[in-house]
Structure 1
Amino acid sequence: MAQNPRDYRTLDKDLRRITTAEHASLASARPMVRVGFALVFIAAVAEFAAAAMAGQPALGIMAASVAIAIYLAVSIGSNDVANALGPAVGAGAISLTLGLFLVAIMDVLGAVLAGEAVTRTMTEGLVAQTLGHGHPTALMMLAALAAAATCISLATALNATVSTTHSVVGAIAGAGIASFGWASVNWTSFGSIALGWVISPILSGLLSAALLASMHRHVLDKEDPIPSGRLWLTILVAVVVALAVCMGAAAFRGVSGPMIAALGLTGALLGGLYAHVTLARQIGSGEKVALKRLLGLPLIVAAMVMGFGHGANDTSNIAAPLTIILMNIDETREQILNPTLVLLLSGLGIAVGTLLFGGKLVNMVGSKITRLNPPRSLCIAIATAVTVLGFSLAGLPVSTTHVSVGGVFGVGFYREWRDRNRHRESASMPDEELYRRHLVRRSHVRTILGAWLITVPVNAGVAAVLVMLLRL
């Protein structure tokens, strides 16, 4: 049985959706009304912070720091929402407006409930030796914020794919070196963060491949996929809900292990019951569309978990530099704004970016994902959500985009392995075609590695230059 060349184009399409989402970010920010709302929000938060910090020294620097930090938050929210919500909207499981609100709410909850661990790594773990130096430390972090904001905006204007997490980590390291020397950076912690950048896409790829293999075995390869699909997806929803509840409960200090387990079990029972009833109603609507509709509920759950994990992880990009500035501006290292309030403002900034600028990206990416294959999109979404959330609670900042790319790779490699095993005795494709397909995958790997290698030093260099300018 000859191979269908069109089967080998799907992987390229899956991989290109990531770049398409990043390129679409520029177009999503064009409506001037939304830009105006974003500017009003940034100004309002800066005014609120200035009022809350009235009487503090260097009030102007602090207000400017808050404004730049919230600008970063809005940018992050507008760029990354498609990774979470695109599959669910594209599959018709949820409307765009409702989906944006749900993901925005989950972003805020993730920031407040589970954002502390990663924020602590980005502050105490990365540049702990620079803390407590007062004004120089505050200027260092102000330069890091400004450098990351500048580089991200420039990359967006140039349609270049970058990671906001890599940008902020590189900017903090560069500003620390320029301010206090090479010894100011905790290179062991920096190495752990970089190791997380490498491991997280691999874990996401393995998990997405395992999910797709299980879906083929229990649902897609069945002669009648509806009954088995109902059971498999009910279990899947129950497990994902339990995982989200356990991780959310673990974010609270003082919650015992048995209590976390009990909450997780309760979440699993409620999630499974809701899925069982909802899927039964969907199946009753007609078998021809039942399987596609069966995937809708898990896609919604995955989008919400992804929103929670995104808020828990990427909030640190804003909260960590801002926290250091507020703790060192008056040389007392007292937190001028409550740490929870800082996380809340950061999460709200991400949520505003999601609501104002996320819709166009979700429509574009979601439609492309659905045309390719909703089951594969579900596997990628769940793998990305679980990976990002797990690393967030472990205190390691990761790139949600790169984790999503890892999920795409996992699905692609599994599909090729499965296809070759199914057609071992059939005529193979020409060597040139097989080589070209291997080359495409490696080119994407080189793109990702290139982004890791370039983003960090570029942001570090810009931050170092800004430190020198601020000293003048």
Structure 2
Amino acid sequence: MSDDVQPDAPQLRKTSLDKDLSKLSSMETATRALSMQLLAPGLAIVFLACAGLLAAAYSGENPNSALIVAAAIIGGYMALNIGANDVANNVGPAVGSKAMSLMAALVIAAVFESAGAIIAGGDVVSTISKGIVDPKQVADANTFVWAMMAALLSCAMWVNLATWLGAPVSTTHSVVGGVMGAGIAAAGFSVVNWGVMGAIAASWVISPLLGGGIAALFLWFIKSNIIYQDDKIAAARKWVPVLVSIMLAAFTCYLVMKGLKKVWKPDLSVIAMLGLAVFGASVLVLRPIIRTQSQGMENRNQSLRKLFHIPLIFSAMLLSFAHGANDVANAVGPLAAILHTIQSGSVDAKVGIPLWVMMIGAFGISLGLFLYGPKLIRMVGEQITKMNPMRAFCVALSAAITVLIASGLGLPVSSTHIAVGGVFGVGFLREYYTTHSKRRRTYLARKAGNTRFTQVQADERSEDEIVYRKLVRRSHFMTIVAAWLITVPATAVLAGALYFVLQQMG
């Protein structure tokens, strides 16, 4: 062998071992991902078990303690689904606009939902949601208990399905449908107050149209008076304090009327005077703050968005507090009714809510939000239409004002339909404004200095924006509207079927 031929260099890396380690690493990654998928249902099951144990501890020696435990578990299941589906409406637009991160929104919503439920959730609840069923016609306590169990379980199952499909639905309407269906199965069609049901059906149309119209109106005002002005910063200094003051006044009235009714119940004139006082004081305080905050800002839309970040965070807090105060009853109302009926042996129109029952509702909503809420938050905040802080502000402001108007007129409305309707409202307004606004075209033409040429360019750019950025996703629109329309009949049919099944099992 020639001296020039060198022996093969030793293998410093074991390729077969590297391949095996790579396979093991891939398996670990896949196992970790699978474990995370199982974490949410695992924690949900632990919570439901704790709810059952809590109910068992408080039911004591009651011979029907098994029924109380089962009702507590179903109530906890309903609370989880309310958190997963309903709470997204309060924080979704703020997250979609990047005013706050998803984790910050989850923490804020969980804290203020729980606070609203426990502090202002009410110590008395109607046993028959919204007065749609006459309790006198369901006088038998045993029949009433099975009807409420069926209603609660049907609501939870429907909201769970809607969340899985990515459709934000009204939990209040789910409860209404469940109670109606179980009531019909238990006592016949005559048990239903069809006048009240007609008003609730009308709210399917009233809620989203009113919420969308008010949100679109405020966005149109912002576009016309701030965004498409030559000096955006000067316009913002003039109008942003007014807009934020309107929001603060609306939320003050909203919280007093809907969120603090357990603590304080003033009449409408006092609420109106309080709102006007908050508005006037807020304008005086906010003008110098906005002026200082806007110092040195560039004359562009990106600068304007920063002025709406803090108001959006406060709106998410206040909406979550009011939602917890009002909608926790959807989870614990039927549970409290079942508990009272079992313990007293009588069917009453209104019952008290024990603290432990309220705790199941409050913590269930928060846990459901953390475990399953991000899907609906992204749907409402990002996937229907493109959000920014100004549009999200209009949605939040619309939610508070619409509830105030509806409450003053005695109209039953859904907070879910209002919020999602607001998102659709700003989306459709953007489409219309982009193609039809003379102010926008004149502004773009003046900015470019060539009126004829720029208007053509603006038209062409508008078409691009409609296709890729500004078009409301019709697939989501149709899915959500369809889910809204079938919520009451779907939960009613399901509750009726479950009533017969549960009665046979009992």
Q: TM-score range by the shorter chain?
A: 0.7 to 0.9
Report the CA distance between 1:45 and its aligned residue: 3.0
Report the CA distance between 1:215 and its aligned residue: 0.8
Q: Structure 2: which amino acid aligns with 1:107?
A: E
Distance verdict in 2 for CA 1:275–1:57, change over 3 Å: farther
Alignment of 1:400-411 (within 5 A): 400-411=415-426
Q: Structure 2: which amino acid aligns with 1:48?
A: L
Q: Structure 1: which amino acid aligns with 2:345?
A: E
Partner of 1:358: 373
2:76 to 70, 87, 103: 70
Partner of 2:141: 134
Partner of 1:87: 93
CA deviation string 1:67-105 (max 9, x = no partner): 111211111212233332233234443344333232223
CA deviation string 1:100-141 (max 9, x = no partner): 232223323444566559954953611233454311101101
Alignment of 1:43-442 (within 5 A): 43-111=49-117, 120=126, 122-123=128-129, 125-129=131-135, 130=137, 132-157=139-164, 162-250=169-257, 251=261, 252-255=263-266, 260=271, 263-264=274-275, 267-268=278-279, 275-276=286-287, 279-284=290-295, 286-287=297-298, 289-329=302-342, 330-333=344-347, 338=353, 342-343=357-358, 345-359=360-374, 362=377, 366=381, 372-388=387-403, 398-418=413-433, 419-422=435-438
Where 1:66 maps in the other structure, the secondary structure is: helix
Distance verdict in 2 for CA 1:117–1:411, change over 3 Å: farther
CA deviation string 1:275-329 (max 9, x = no partner): 5565445424643653121121222233223323433443232133223212322
The 1-side partners of 2:75 and 2:209 are apart by: 30
Instruction: Provide the aligned length of Structure 1 versus Structure 2.
Output: 439
Distance verdict in 2 for CA 1:166–1:53, change over 3 Å: same
Report the CA distance between 1:371 and its aligned residue: 5.4
Where 1:210 maps in the other structure, the secondary structure is: helix
The 1-side partners of 2:178 and 2:36 are apart by: 27
The 1-side partners of 2:265 and 2:379 are apart by: 43
Which stretch of the first structure deviates more once superposed, 131-140 or 263-272?
Answer: 263-272
The 1-side partners of 2:495 and 2:81 are apart by: 19
Report the CA distance between 1:385 and its aligned residue: 4.2
CA contact (8 A) 2:56 2:68 kept: yes
Where 2:140 maps in the other structure, the secondary structure is: coil
Where 1:315 maps in the other structure, the secondary structure is: helix
The 1-side partners of 2:419 and 2:255 are apart by: 22
Distance verdict in 2 for CA 1:121–1:298, change over 3 Å: farther
Which stretch of the first structure deviates more once superposed, 352-361 or 374-383?
Answer: 352-361
Which stretch of the first structure deviates more once superposed, 209-218 or 154-163?
Answer: 154-163
Which stretch of the first structure deviates more once superposed, 457-466 or 355-364?
Answer: 355-364
Report the CA distance between 1:373 and its aligned residue: 3.7
Partner of 2:44: 38
Distance verdict in 2 for CA 1:259–1:341, change over 3 Å: farther
Q: Structure 1: which amino acid aligns with 2:48?
A: I
Partner of 2:26: none
The 1-side partners of 2:123 and 2:479 are apart by: 30
Which stretch of the first structure deviates more once superposed, 374-383 or 278-287?
Answer: 278-287
Distance verdict in 2 for CA 1:393–1:55, change over 3 Å: farther
Identity of aligned residues (%): 40
Partner of 1:18: none
Q: Structure 2: which amino acid aligns with 1:51?
A: A
Distance verdict in 2 for CA 1:366–1:451, change over 3 Å: closer
Report the CA distance between 1:365 and its aligned residue: 5.7
CA contact (8 A) 2:125 2:351 kept: no
Which stretch of the first structure deviates more once superposed, 125-134 or 367-376?
Answer: 367-376
CA contact (8 A) 2:152 2:334 kept: yes
Where 2:499 maps in the other structure, the secondary structure is: helix
**Consecutive unaligned residues in structure 2, runs of 5 or more:** 1-32, 443-451
The 1-side partners of 2:182 and 2:411 are apart by: 20
Where 2:306 maps in the other structure, the secondary structure is: helix
2:488 to 449, 456, 460: 456
Whose radius of gyration is greater, 1 or 2? Answer: 2
Q: CA RMSD of the aligned region, Å?
A: 4.0
TM-score by length of 2: 0.73
The 2-side partners of 1:56 and 1:244 are apart by: 44
CA contact (8 A) 2:82 2:159 kept: no
The 2-side partners of 1:227 and 1:120 are apart by: 51
Which stretch of the first structure deviates more once superposed, 251-260 or 95-104?
Answer: 251-260
Report the CA distance between 1:159 and its aligned residue: 5.3
Report the CA distance between 1:195 and its aligned residue: 1.5
Distance verdict in 2 for CA 1:179–1:270, change over 3 Å: same
Which stretch of the first structure deviates more once superposed, 275-284 or 143-152?
Answer: 275-284
Partner of 2:500: 468
Q: Structure 1: which amino acid aligns with 2:50?
A: A
Higher relative contact order (CA 8 A, sep 6+): 1
Report the CA distance between 1:261 and its aligned residue: 5.2
Report the CA distance between 1:369 and its aligned residue: 7.8
CA contact (8 A) 1:108 1:308 kept: yes
Distance verdict in 2 for CA 1:253–1:61, change over 3 Å: same
Distance verdict in 2 for CA 1:420–1:259, change over 3 Å: closer
CA contact (8 A) 2:328 2:362 kept: yes
